[in-house]
Chains A and B, each alone.
Chain A
Amino acid sequence: MTAPKLRLATVWLGGCSGCHMSLLDLDEWLIELAARVELVFSPIADTKRFPESVDLALVEGAIANEEHLALITLVRRRSRVLLSLGDCAVTGNVTALRNPLGTAASILQQIYVDHGDPRGHVPTGSAIVPALLDRVLPVHAVVPVDCFLPGCPPPAPRIRAVLEALLAGEPPPATPEMIRFG
């Protein structure tokens, strides 16, 4: 009997999707990966609801709005291992560049009104776009994180090294080459 496939999820929060692009950069190794995992949730898959009993969740992006906050809580509850993938998840990075500018209300005012050309107005009343949080946070500031892979984005070979270790049930390599912000 073959071993059950590892249930893999990838999550896209407040980031540019560059980390997912880097994941796709694994090229033909993805075929090998597909033989060993079942992709149960991902922005590149069709599922809309985060499933139960996920073995490994790769999380790209920072916690920047209410939807991210709700989703990461669910992801943590339903995942055995949570990996912060890339600088936005690990540090807040570019997504958190707005933090020194003040609260969500102040930022919307600055962007849409003060620096708007032509001057706009702060969008209100719509539930289509999730409300911004006052402060962008790295994932581990909200829920416990099991491993971290910095990089903007982390290059594909580093993602592969981490995945190979985790698939083998080992801790990811922690050499200096694996830790590179930016």
Chain B
Amino acid sequence: MAAKTLTIDGTLVSAREGESILEAAREAGITIPTLCHLDGLSEVGACRLCLVELTGSRRLQPACLTPVAEGMEVRTSTERLREHRRAIVELLFAERGHVCAVCVASGACELQDLAARLGVTHVRYDYLAPACTVDISHPRFGIDHHRCVLCTRCVRACDEVEGVHTWDVAGRGTAARVITDLHVPWGQATSCTSCGKCLHACPTGAIFQRGSSVAELKRDPGVIALVVAARKERW
């Protein structure tokens, strides 16, 4: 496989052909913020947090879905990008009901961490404050749609790793919701194996273990990549 040489934030980086900018940056120790990306899952480019600037292109490109190319010049942290990222995180906070003070995932939440890292001290947009449902029909897990950011990590973990596809997305725009089976309560979704991979994949407190209280949620997102890697070694 041919090596590609590119520049990321002024640093010369060599990467394997077919690698994404995100992977190349990581290997070079350059952190690009992500939310819908999870090691072990396919990329969807949904959250737009990893947008980067490329010399010669007016459009911003998602680092997770853009393959490296010879001579590419990438900028990952310009003021324009930082402002876009802050706006994205603020819009996520404004769209649903993210109340860290009463959330199981407080202290273990990627949205909360992103706000801190990106300098989001407050939300400049009006909160939509929608009335969302909470589904606790499953005996082990629950989903609080107030906290869902529609990253689809649960959908991909269930489909690609567990091989079941209990989760999917229904509706459009602000009415979009992750659903189980054909939009039945989770407890009635007969395809669900109760494996808990969606729980580990969820970046916020949307999918939680029943019985966990504020800031009690323990989760290991690395377990998804571990399962994927282990299978590759075996088969």
Contact = CB atoms under 8 A, between A and B. Distances in A.
Interface residues of A, number: 29
Contacts of A93: 99, 101
Contacts of B30: none
A75 B127 CA distance: 24
Nearest to B101: A152
A87 B112 contact: no
Contacts of A182: 99-101, 103, 106-107, 112, 215
Q: How large is the interface on B (under 10, 10 to 19, 20 to 34, 35 or more residues)?
A: 20 to 34
A101 B146 CA distance: 13
A100 B99 contact: no
A82 interface: no
A60 to B, nearest CB: 13
Contact of B126 (A101, A141, A149, A177): A141
B116 A148 contact: no
A166 to B, nearest CB: 15
A100 B97 CA distance: 9
Interface stretch (B75-83, B117-125, B182-190): B117-125
B105 to A, nearest CB: 9
Given A91-B123, A180-B116, A100 B107 contact: no
Contacts of A135: 129
B102 A94 contact: yes
Nearest to B132: A100
Contacts of B132: 100
B119 A174 contact: yes
A171 to B, nearest CB: 12
B141 interface: no
A145 interface: yes
Given A96-B99, A182-B215, 16 more contacts: A87-B100, A87-B101, A90-B121, A91-B122, A97-B97, A97-B102, A100-B129, A148-B121, A150-B122, A152-B100, A177-B116, A181-B101, A181-B112, A182-B101, A182-B107, A182-B112
